[in-house]
Copies of this chain bind each other. A is one copy, B any other.
Amino acid sequence: MTSRDGYSWTPQDGLKAGVPTIGAISPPSNVSSSEAVYDVVVIGAGYCGLTAARNCALEGLKVVLLEGRDRIGGRSWSSNIGGYPFEMGGTWVHWGQSNTWREILRYKMQTEVKNSFDFSKGVQHFELNMSGGSATMSHENEDDLVASGLKKFMNVDGAFGRKIVPLPHDTFHVPESKPLDKISALDRINQIASTLTPQERATLEASILLCSGGTLETTSFHEMLHWWAMCGYSYEGWLDKLITWKFKDGQSSFARRFFDEALETKRLTYAFNSAVTKVKDNGSTVTITTRDGRVYRAARAISTVPLNVLKDVVFEPPLSPAKQKALGIGHVNQTVKVHAEISNPALRSWTGITYPHKGVMYAIADGTTPAGNTHIVGFGNQSNHIDPEADIDMTKAAVSSLFCPENYNGQSQQIERLVFHNWSKDEFAKGAWFFSPPGLLSEHLEDMRAPHGNIRFSNSDWALGWRSFIDGAIEEGTRAAMEVRSELQDLKGTRANL
């Protein structure tokens, strides 16, 4: 199956829209009657919606799942090209991510993961291209450099964040930490600037932008601290949890398990290519209208629409002013993620930063493709933002700028394939994973989480723990399903299918 989403480019075929994925669902709908009233309608088939729909269906509710795309997974999905998976969005998982790993164990997938890094052979170096000149170094020195900058950045309390964010699932557990959400990453860098070497500062800034996908000015410092706390307050935990373990067969192999399990209950109705335009709650029933004019009715609705897209849906009655304010602010992540196959197998043990960058800034080697090329995955952000499909030569140049020819005897690195998804231009995402600008979370976290009549809002964007991650999506889908099932159980008592 091929999804409309995503792009690939090869020298032979040029740019093509749409890539193959096992996340595309066929047939796209199993709706038999538009007259049914469901127990719950779930809007969105990313991990959050999949979890909510699956749990509700498992626990006896009649569910209808509506999705604007032709595939499951939302901001996390994989394209499988020639037997090799490319992760178009959210990628890495870890057993420190409680909701995700619970599901991985439940689906017995704990050995279906592999390490992105293999430093056992090849160039075995990190390349740092700065405006002041380039350097190559061992991965040990890379780790020392990045860890040193990050630790200075995070160490606001003399305990590397342990005192100020001791219980990260309660984001502002220490009230004194709230002011740290009012300052930006740049503000914090300015506090420690005199202690940073130029190399530390460049790698630190690149590391921050790799997390937030925004700019240093639009990145909340507290949210960076929150990530750090979730990772166990250490650089080793940071690497382990953020960028190490991925699915051998790609994210869509995981997402399919949720969808297939829900389908097997025979209580799941679904419709893809069904973008929701309107959600109306008359107090006892929620009526959902999709772009194609279809109408779905349910006792409850679970909206998993991302923060940056929520203002495109009409709600009746209108959302609370506080929620509207939060979604008016939105999140700042405009990450550019580009996969490149490069005809140099020795790059398998390469990592690199080019900073400031020309569209792609931070990259790692992520595998060896069936053709024997090195697969690298590179990241850009809001600064010097590119739309990779708009000008392929510019995108290729952005990838190439990661490599300084003098490190390779003057040879440039030949690009054999590009694969990417433009999340900024995606009408159902309008950005990549959530990252908060200063003030958003300390002022509006509860507003984003609040229900609205019979409608629940559930998304990784406002999860408590691994906010922004697949794990936060599953956390939120679990929460919504439990709330809805519990409410309907109370309402309906011993109804047969409850």
Contact = CB atoms under 8 A, between A and B. Distances in A.
A98 interface: yes
Interface in A72-111: 95-102, 105-106, 110-111
- Enumerate the 3 nearest inter-chain pairs by beta-carbon distance, A residue then B residue, closest first: A98-B101, A98-B98, A110-B169
B489 A264 contact: yes
A95 B241 CA distance: 13
A494 interface: yes
Contact of A99 (B102, B166, B465): B102
B168 A95 contact: yes
A191 interface: no
A113 B58 contact: no
B110 A266 contact: no
Contacts of A265: 489, 498
B497 A497 contact: yes
A50 to B, nearest CB: 16
Contacts of A264: 489
A478 interface: yes
Tell me how many chains of this kind the complex includes: 2
A233 interface: yes
A105 B99 contact: yes
A28 interface: no
A105 B234 contact: no
Contact of A98 (B99, B169, B233): B99
A491 to B, nearest CB: 13
A305 B64 CA distance: 40
Contact of A232 (B232, B465, B496): B232
Nearest to A105: B475
16 contacts: A59-B60, A95-B168, A96-B98, A96-B232, A97-B98, A98-B99, A98-B101, A102-B475, A110-B167, A110-B169, A110-B464, A111-B169, A234-B236, A237-B237, A265-B498, A497-B497
A482 interface: yes
Interface residues of A, number: 45
Contact of A102 (B110, B113, B478): B478
A407 B227 CA distance: 42
B105 A167 contact: no
Contacts of A106: 478-479, 482
B266 A494 contact: yes
Contacts of A497: 60, 496-497
Given A60-B60, A110-B169, A169-B110, A95 B98 contact: yes
Interface string A223-234: 000000010111
Contact of A496 (B168, B233, B496): B496
B232 A478 contact: no
Nearest to A59: B58
A170 B111 contact: yes
Nearest to A110: B169
A107 B378 CA distance: 39
Given A95-B96, A105-B479, 9 more contacts: A97-B98, A98-B98, A98-B102, A110-B169, A115-B166, A232-B234, A234-B237, A496-B496, A497-B497
A240 interface: yes
A482 B489 CA distance: 22
Contacts of A498: 265
Interface in A477-498: 478-479, 482, 489, 494, 496-498
Contacts of A494: 266
A110 to B, nearest CB: 4
B464 A170 contact: no
